[in-house]
Structure 1
């Protein structure tokens, strides 16, 4: 299944990705698909990304909106893709203000806009702080990512970004094991990963590089989480996608939608 098809992306779309455990992989894999299919897109972030993840775009670094816009539009005409960031330091690119991304939408007629709108410090789970995530208001789709690899691990800083924000949501203390229902709570809670979301909502449950005898276990976890989302949710999550892979190899295994 094509990744864009799994997300139901059929026309130029503004996609903001939040959460932890596969955001950059999702963006890279989706943009690689569009490169292959010659579908134009712009990639940026409202936080920070590793330079290595966007280097192939020959990104624009511009701290003023109008010159940056002109360079992006020129790259789109020449290459069918573009990346725009404010600057670069310590192997990270600095993202655009969310309001700049919203302004970009005024010039979007035939290309997708991909935004990494959240940071997680390389951890597998998170809950956003009060100032997060930085989702542009004109996003058509907010994708929330949770990593199945966190299940069974204790709540601590090796797995969870800011455990102090996660514990009140899932009702557990440091050191207690993370369970599938905890991921569902992070997706459902008003202060969970979809805090500040705009547009439609899609939840991604990522298996990472887990394989072999873990595949059936992950499937059961996914189905338990999906059941809880449909049972306890308010109907705002329109689909759940089970994915596998890292980097440019992330792919959709199955799409779940409420009956």
Structure 2
């Protein structure tokens, strides 16, 4: 994945959407782990990662600075404590801005989806840091054919409004086009380079659907790159790159 994304020094990468944000964040961090000093954090809340997913952990913002001048490469996970649900609480934007210059790359989960494969957005989300260099929007292609209901869609009413759809209607490719292109959709608060990652392209059926979606999206030409593939199986393909 890292070979398809060109990140500048001290870059902040913000991940939004649903259907693989946390997995994408740690997969990308793992690929960079031996080469760079990487900060992994959130501006919302995430489940605590397993110990093999990081090299250093800090959950007290008064201690963030203890790692600033370390030369050790690896994955540094920062958070502002653990809540009652056992989730790592996100960093305040000012803390994130102060921290990121001490790391080669900062990867931020900037959106919540309650582990649902697709979502709509409230006015206050996603929480994208103002210094973000690249926004990666995650989209799960396997949602096509699933019902628009609370089991499958986080903030289902917002999703229906954005996509001009109805409860219990089947999600179709047109809904995904609307969700990506709508000003209140996937890239509503995006900053910097905009990369769409279409996840769960794990068979010929989903590859065909993903390429159909790409063809429809590039007509609007508002996205800098579209990558399709599978985080689970670690295969990725550049489907579109703006000249």
Using structure 1 for the length normalisation, give the TM-score.
0.86
Is 1:16 matched with 2:2? no
Q: Which has the higher contact order (CA 8 A, sep 6+)?
A: 1
Report the Cα offset of residue 159 of structure 1.
Answer: 1.1
Per-residue displacement from partner, 1:48-102 (whole Å, max 9, x unpaired)?
A: 11113577424101133xx32x12315x424543111100132210010123212
Q: Distance in 2 between matches of 1:116 and 1:122?
A: 13
* Count of equivalent residues: 241
Q: Distance in 2 between matches of 1:220 and 1:133?
A: 29
Is 1:252 matched with 2:236? yes
The correspondence of residues 108-119 of structure 1 with structure 2, limited to 5 A, is: 108=102, 111-119=104-112
Q: Distance in 2 between matches of 1:54 and 1:121?
A: 22
Report the Cα offset of residue 184 of structure 1.
Answer: 1.7
- Listed as ranges, the gaps of 5+ residues in structure 2 are none
Match of 1:96 in 2: 91
Q: 1:54 to 1:46 in 2, by over 3 A?
A: farther
Give secondary structure in 1 for the equivalent of 2:179. helix
Indicate if the aligned counterparts of 1:24 and 1:53 stay in contact, CA closer than 8 A: no
Indicate if the aligned counterparts of 1:240 and 1:256 stay in contact, CA closer than 8 A: yes
Q: Distance in 1 between matches of 2:239 and 2:67?
A: 33
Give secondary structure in 1 for the equivalent of 2:205. helix
Residue of 113, 127, 143 corresponding to 1:120: 113
Q: 1:112 to 1:204 in 2, by over 3 A?
A: same
Report the Cα offset of residue 12 of structure 1.
Answer: 4.0
Match of 2:206 in 1: 218
Q: Distance in 2 between matches of 1:84 and 1:54?
A: 13
Q: 1:258 to 1:199 in 2, by over 3 A?
A: closer
Is 1:237 matched with 2:223? yes
Q: Distance in 1 between matches of 2:17 and 2:51?
A: 19
Is 1:62 matched with 2:57? no
Q: CA RMSD in A?
A: 2.0
Q: Distance in 2 between matches of 1:140 and 1:54?
A: 28
Q: Distance in 2 between matches of 1:240 and 1:8?
A: 13
The correspondence of residues 1-259 of structure 1 with structure 2, limited to 5 A, is: 3-9=1-7, 11-35=9-33, 37-53=34-50, 56-57=53-54, 58-64=56-62, 67-68=63-64, 70-74=65-69, 76-89=70-83, 90-105=85-100, 107-108=101-102, 111-207=104-200, 210=202, 215-231=203-219, 233=220, 235-246=221-232, 249-258=233-242
